[in-house]
Chains A and B, each alone.
Chain A
Amino acid sequence: MIHSVALAGNPNVGKSTVFNALTGLRQHTGNWTGKTVDPARGGWSLEEARYEAVDLPGVYSLAGGSPEERVAARWLEANSPETLVVVLDATALERSLGLALELRAAHPRLVICLNLMDEAERLGLELDTEALSEALSAPVVPTRADRKQSYERLRRVIAARAATRDAPIPVPAGNPILEAARIAAAVTRQPGRPRRDWDRLLLGKRSAWPLLLALLFAVFYLTVRGANLPSALLERALNRLGELLGRRMGGLPEGMKSLLLDGIYGTTARVTAVMLPPMAIFFPLFSLLEDLGLLPRAALLLDRPFAACGSCGRQGLCMCMGCGCNAVGVTGCRIIPDGKERLAALLTNALTPCNGRFPTLILLAGLLLGRAASPVETAAFLTLCMLLSAAVTLALTALLRKTVLRGREGVFSLELPPLRRPRLGRLLVRSLLDQTLRVLGRALTVAAPAGALIWLLGRLRIGDQALLPLLARGLDPAARLLGLTGPLLLAFLLSFPANELLLPLALLITGAGEPAVLFSAHTALCAAVFTLFHWPCSTTLQTVWHETKSPKWTLLALLLPSAVGVLLCALTRTLLILLS
Chain B
Amino acid sequence: MERGLDCLRPGEGGIVTRVDPALADALARLGLIPGTTLRCLRRCPLGDPAVYRFRATDLALRGRDAAKIRVSSVEAADAPRDDSPGREDGNDP
A and B from one assembly? yes
CB within 8 Å of B: which residues of A? Answer: 60-61, 63-65, 91-95, 98, 120, 123, 125, 177-178, 180-181, 184-185, 188, 191-195, 197, 199-200, 203-206, 208-209, 300-301, 303-305, 307, 409, 411-418
With contacts A197-B90, A416-B59 taken as known, whether A191 is within 8 angstroms of B26 at the C-beta atoms is no
- The CA-CA distance from A93 to B85 in the complex, in Å, is 10
Known A-B contacts A95-B56, A304-B44; A64 and B82 likewise in contact (beta carbons under 8 Å): no
Given contacts A191-B85, A300-B49, A411-B65, contact A200 B55 (CB under 8 A): no
3 pairs of A and B residues whose beta carbons are closest in the complex = A194-B88, A192-B85, A197-B90
Q: Which of B29, B45, B55, B84 contacts A301 (CB 8 A)?
A: B45
Inside 8 A of B28's CB, which chain A residues have their CB? 61, 177
Complex interface: chain A residues within 8 A of B57 (CB): 92, 95, 415
- On chain B, the number of residues with a Cβ less than 8 Å from chain A's Cβ atoms is 41
Q: A200-B91, A208-B44, A412-B62 given; name 17 further pairs at CB < 8 Å.
A: A64-B26, A92-B56, A94-B84, A95-B56, A125-B85, A177-B28, A193-B85, A197-B90, A204-B93, A208-B45, A303-B48, A303-B60, A304-B49, A412-B65, A413-B59, A417-B58, A418-B58
Q: Which of B's residues lie within 8 Å of A, judged by CB?
A: 22-23, 25-31, 33, 35, 41-42, 44-49, 51, 55-62, 64-65, 82-88, 90-93
Closest residue to A62 on the B side, CB-wise? B29
- With A181-B55, A194-B82, A204-B93 known to touch, is A303 a contact of B62 (CB < 8 Å)? yes
Contact of A191 among B33, B42, B61, B84 (CB under 8 A): B84
Residue pairs across A and B with Cβ atoms less than 8 A apart, 18 shown, are A64-B26, A91-B86, A92-B55, A92-B84, A94-B31, A120-B85, A191-B84, A191-B85, A195-B85, A199-B41, A203-B44, A209-B45, A304-B46, A411-B22, A411-B23, A412-B65, A413-B61, A416-B59
Contacts of A415 in B (CB 8 A): 30, 57-60
Which of A185, A412, A413 meets B83, CB within 8 Å? A185
A191 touches B82 (CB 8 A): yes
Residues of chain B lying within 8 A (CB to CB) of residue A305: 46
Residues of B within 8 A of A92 (CB): 55-57, 84-86
> In angstroms, how far is the closest chain A Cβ from the Cβ of B15?
14
Would A197 and B88 count as touching, CB distance under 8 A? yes
- Is A60 a contact of B29 with CB atoms below 8 Å? yes
**How far is B62's CA from A63's CA once the two chains are assembled, in angstroms?**
24
Distance in angstroms from B67 CB to nearest chain A CB is: 12
Cβ contacts under 8 Å, A205 to chain B: 45, 92-93
Shortest Cβ distance from B43 into chain A, in angstroms?
Answer: 9
Q: With a CB–CB cut-off of 8 A, which chain A residues contact B86? A: 91-92, 194-195, 418
